[in-house]
Amino acid sequence: MLVLEQVSKSFAGQPALRDVSLRIPAGEVVVLLGPSGCGKTTLLRIVAGLTLPDAGRVLWQGQLMTEVPVHQRGFGMMFQDYALFPHKNVAQNVVFGLRMLGWPAAAMAARLAEVLALVGLTGFETRPVDELSGGEQQRVALARALAPSPGLLLLDEPLGALDRALRERLMGELRQILKRADAARPGGLTAIYVTHDQAEAFAVADRVVVMSAGQVEQVDAPAALYGRPATPFVARFLGMMNVLPGRAVSQEPPAVETELGVLVLSAWPPGLALDQAVQVLIRPEAAVWPAGPAAVNRLAARVVAYSFRGRYQQVMLAVGEKALQFEFEQAMQLPPVGEMVQVGLAPAGIQLLAGE
């Protein structure tokens, strides 16, 4: 198990991490997700030993890692630029770390065959790495990181240099590789994976750690994180822009008052008090159109804009001065821009968030 206890770090007086605490069990793939500058790479470098924390502790399998040099931690590392040796072939790149550790030739050959099969590069042993595609180079870098059978694998934006289509194809494969990387290791391979891409995080992670301004905003399984973001920052980072202040006004039916009017909820949240100030999230799939006579939370809205998003269409609606963003199926025929419509908001699509 990896344990981080109140880890803090500043650069030139500017906090990069603020009291970050995490517990990562053996065999779990955890993704650090957040915008650039939120501290996720700094946290990864502290775990690796490449950066020292100003405060806090890092423990691996119960051992304090503060004084343990990078090369003695036994962690695997893979970075966005891959850092492959361009003058060496695939096999020479993959076994480089094993050679430095003094592995016997027969053991190196066996492990080379094993990890190349794992990443789908069997037969590539003699290929020069500078003749490989970006996706193939990514697999070589991953094979090299996995070759010494590390208990902990650290990956910093490993797909960031690839085009979108290739990233989409590889992210699912990468999770499968990480989950079966070393079946002989008790508890499996533990991995920390850094990305700013939510789709990548959801595809790879057992749990996602959302970070903002050096702090942890929420830790959850991908489905739970998307289904119930905890704070306005998490909601907005996941693309849910309809967050507005409100006030709890009724328990029966459960309802909050907002600048849009009184909105009915599907249930009264535990611990919520009457007249309490809240932050209200209206999820992008909450809008119901056309809104029949029985529709709940009816609003008169003006169609402002459409945006084609492949599997769905994003629609901007204005309710008075408030702009709201919703998603509808592509097949749905919506009114033209400028027209007034009546929409309903499904109570299940209205959630209350913590924080400002």
The pTM is what? Answer: 0.90
Q: Evaluate if residue 195 carries a pLDDT over 90.
A: yes
Residues 199 and 138 in one domain: yes
- Compute the mean pLDDT over every residue in the chain, rounded to the nearest whole number: 91
pLDDT tens-digit map of 39-77:
999 999 999 999 999 999 999 999 999 889 998 898 988
Last residue of some domain: 174, 203, 237?
A: 237
73 with 191, same domain: the answer is yes
Q: Which of 237, 255, 272 is the last residue of a domain?
A: 237
User: For the chain, how many structural domains are there in total?
Assistant: 2
Q: Within this chain, do residues 87 and 167 fall inside the same structural domain, yes or no?
A: yes
Which residue, 287, 282, 280, is CA-closest to 303? 287
Q: Which residues of 268-281 are buried (b: 16+ CB within 10 A; e: fewer)?
A: beeeeeeeeebbbb
Read off the pLDDT band of 21 (50, 70, 90).
very high
In this structure, are 141 and 268 located in the same domain? no
Q: Is 356 exposed, middle or buried (0-12, 13-18, 19+ CB in 10 A)?
A: exposed
Measured distance CA(202)–CA(172) in Å, rounded: 10
Look at 304 and 186; give whichever has higher pLDDT: 304
**Where does the pLDDT of residue 174 fall: very low under 50, low under 70, confident under 90, or very high at 90 and above?**
confident
pLDDT at 291: 85
Rounded to whole angstroms, the Cα distance separating 170 from 162 reads: 10
Amino acid 90 reads V
Token readout for 147 is: 């070759």
The confidence band for 184, taking pLDDT boundaries of 50, 70 and 90, is low
pLDDT of residue 66: 86
- DSSP one-letter code for 131: G
Whether the per-residue pLDDT at 306 is higher than 70: the answer is: yes
Position with higher pLDDT, 311 vs 252? 252
Question: Can you spell out the DSSP letters for 65-81?
Answer: -TTS-GGGS--EEEETT
Burial of 257 (0-12, 13-18, 19+ CB in 10 A): middle
| 132 and 279 together in one domain | no
Q: Which domain holds residue 26?
A: 2-237
Q: How far is CA 107 from CA 57, 75, 103, 146, in A?
A: 36, 19, 6, 14
| pLDDT of 295 over the 90 cut | no
* 182 has pLDDT over 60: no
Are 188 and 254 found together in one domain? no
* Backbone φ and ψ of 54, nearest 5°: -80, -30
pLDDT at position 312 over 80: yes
Question: Which CATH number goes with the domain that contains 191?
Answer: 3.40.50.300
123 and 217: one domain? yes
Whether residue 183 has pLDDT greater than 60: no
Q: Which of 194, 220, 237 is the last residue of a domain?
A: 237
Q: Are residues 217 and 278 in the same domain?
A: no
* 230-278 pLDDT tens trace: 999 999 999 999 999 999 999 999 999 999 999 999 999 999 999 999 9
Using 50, 70 and 90 to split pLDDT, how confident is the model at 311?
A: confident
